[in-house]
Structure 1
Amino acid sequence: MSQFTVFVEYRIQEDSISMFQDQYFTQIREQIKNQLEHIVHHEFLLSEAQVGQVVEVIQVEDHDVIASLKELRIGFTPSWFHSLDSHIVGGRSKIKLWTFRRCD
């Protein structure tokens, strides 16, 4: 079975960074794990050069999970993730998702 890596990129409001580090990163990971199957790994990277810039690295085993992940994070269906919009610069419309697969 192929693995895919999804990068979720966004910028947190500067006054929300510590709250994300202390609380929301763990909650985001738990929400995704509880709502989606085939999540292999999920980590958060915080930019050293750009204040508040976050990249989530999510590895999945099933390509079908990617559409569900996109709906959770940037879709219009109401979910817990909508509560994060006010902490993200530009809200959910500024969240970017990219999917990659190994090619070697």
Structure 2
Amino acid sequence: MRYVVCRALEAAGVDEDLRRALATDDVPGAWGHRVIECDDDPLELFLNGRNGAMSDLIDRLGDISFAEACGSMKGFVSDPSWHELHSRLRQGLVKPADEEWAFS
């Protein structure tokens, strides 16, 4: 995701400082979907318009670190998109040295 944002910033010709910060950041990231582990599905709460439940969820997650909220990342690694990426890596269709993984 950092790569995508950097490419967008570069294409738009804006915010060189942010682009540089993203490119040099060496803190592991957990960008993606289905990363937060909790009993509720945040997207479902949002889509169903249950704002009170969403506020409660935001308050609850706001009291813990991002690492705690991500837990084991079970939801992410069990996602079909992740399995497709893993398969492509094994087949050599996608390589860790490919440009889009530069910030990983």
Using structure 1 for the length normalisation, give the TM-score. 0.23
Which one has the bigger helix percentage?
2
Which one has the bigger strand percentage?
1
Larger radius of gyration, structure 1 or 2? 2
Using structure 2 for the length normalisation, give the TM-score. 0.23
**Greater relative contact order structure (CA < 8 Å, 6+ sep):** 1
